Amino acid sequence: MREIGIGLIGGGYMGKAHAVALSAVGAVFGTALRPRLVSIAASGRASAERYRAAYGFARAADDWRGVVDDPEVEAVVIAAPQATHRAIAEAAFELGKPVFCEKPLGASIEDARAMVAAAEASGLPNMTGFNYVRTPATRFVRDLLAEGAIGHVTWFRGEHTEDFLSDPATPANWRTSGRPNGTMGDLAPHMINCALALVGDMTELSARIETLHPTRPGPGGPVAVNNDDHGQMMVRFASGAMGHLYFSRAATGRKMGYAYEIHGTRGAIRFDQEDQNSVWLYRAEGPEATRGFTRILTGPAHPDYEPFCQGPGHGTGYQDQIIIEARDFLRAIETGEPVFPTFRDGLAVARVIETAFASAEDGRWHAILQE
């Protein structure tokens, strides 16, 4: 095994998750590459120094350039606001450094395209941070679908619903300003990525996107909300399957509603992230009187579970998803082989979102935007 110097940009919610994952991944998965936490940057030098001390990095940088330019940083993890993703990634690739970037890939479709171009021109490993698709349960569902366990897929229903802005009295904050921070930029990418991973490419969609609460309380009075609270889309997949996706940050009572239901010609599958260690499987076989959904609890027999726990039904959690991401990133660097989801997978999601906004604007069905 050998060490690899890691630079992290962003120290908040996701920055902490990545720092913990990078510290733990070697012990959990026995990776050939062992991360060494070299440098971290945040919104300013003072905050970077706080995160450095808290997370165990060797040093704090004045800004992201200090991390990317550090000769001891061999790979970069981006957990900063979307508007910064493109510049950081392009600079890192220019210096020959692999990049892991949190979703969404960029703040716009133009950013996403440019980031894919930079990544592929460099030939370096690159990954987009869609962590929920990596749970042992959803990895198992991907295997079930690949082996045809429920036959030909005819219908997919997916949602990513939370309620952190369900109360109109919740004050305005950074999430209520700017299109990249709305529900279509924040929550929708996860479920779109899931749908693409489980069912395949989409060909067309019809979408509606709305702001439920046009103003929110601010320090000096009402503040206008200029992005979306929820959105939905009907979709057609290249396989011929139909689908419906819904996203909301105002779904009262939903805390982590990353959920999907898949119907096939020989069965069906249900999953809900609020019960992330369970998969519900229906097989259309045997006497009708004994048919029904079976609850399958994840355990060592399922993908990526055993490194965390040898007990079936004990379960994995949110932080474990990020550790799996870290393992995948290190594997991509070690082998030089792409590991899903790459920047190109992030661009595929951005294309669907851009198409959804176009459809919501004119109320028509639209073919998915091409690259």
The three state secondary structure string of the chain is: CEEEEEEEECCCHHHHHHHHHHHHHHHHHCCCEEEEEEEEECCCHHHHHHHHHHHCCCEECCCHHHHHHCCCCCEEEECCCHHHHHHHHHHHHHCCCCEEEECCCCCCHHHHHHHHHHHHHHCCCEEEECCHHHCHHHHHHHHHHHCCCCCCEEEEEEEEECCCCCCCCCCCCHHHCCHHHCHHHHCHHHHHHHHHHHHCCEEEEEEEEECCCCEEEECCEEEECCCCCEEEEEEEECCCCEEEEEEECCCCCCCCEEEEEEEECCEEEEEEHHHCCEEEEEECCCCHHHCCCEEEECCCCCCCCCCCCCCCCCCCCHHHHHHHHHHHHHHHHHHCCCCCCCHHHHHHHHHHHHHHHHHHHHCCCEECCCC
- pLDDT score for 371: 80
C-beta neighbour count of 335 within 10 angstroms: 11
Between CA 127 and CA 134 the distance in angstroms is 13
Q: Token digits for 292?
A: 């029904």
Q: CA 57, 58, 59 angle in degrees (round to 5)?
A: 95
With contact defined as beta carbons under 8 Å apart, do 192 and 347 qualify? no
With contact defined as beta carbons under 8 Å apart, do 116 and 350 qualify? no
Quote the number of domains for the chain: 2
Q: Which residues contact 71 (CB under 8 A, 6 or more apart)?
A: none
| Beta pairing partners, 160 | 247, 258
pTM (predicted TM-score): 0.96
Same domain, 76 and 156: no
Q: Cα–Cα distances in Å, from 263 out to 131, 240, 242, 293?
A: 24, 13, 10, 12
How many residues can be counted in the chain?
371
First to last CA, the chain: 39
Same domain, 111 and 199: no
Q: 132, 163, 196 — which closes off a domain?
A: 132
Contacts 24+ apart (CB under 8 A), 334-338: 334/31, 334/32, 334/33, 336/125, 338/125
Q: What CATH number has the domain bearing residue 6?
A: 3.40.50.720
Which parts of the chain register pLDDT below 70?
none
Q: 100, 132, 164 — which closes off a domain?
A: 132
Same domain, 114 and 164: no
Same domain, 81 and 180: no
Domain-located, residue 305: yes
Same domain, 120 and 210: no
Same domain, 150 and 183: yes
Range of the domain at 290: 136-316+348-362
Upper half-sphere CA count for residue 207 (Cβ side, 13 Å): 27
Q: Token digits for 211?
A: 């702001």
Between CA 185 and CA 195 the distance in angstroms is 16
Same domain, 73 and 54: yes
Q: Token digits for 137?
A: 């349960």
Between CA 210 and CA 188 the distance in angstroms is 13
- Give the model confidence (pLDDT) of 112-158 as tens digits: 999 999 999 999 999 999 999 999 999 999 999 999 999 999 999 99
With contact defined as beta carbons under 8 Å apart, do 361 and 209 qualify? no
Domain-located, residue 197: yes
Give the rounded distance of the alpha carbon of 248 from its chain centre: 16
Domain-located, residue 332: no
Q: 132, 152, 184 — which closes off a domain?
A: 132
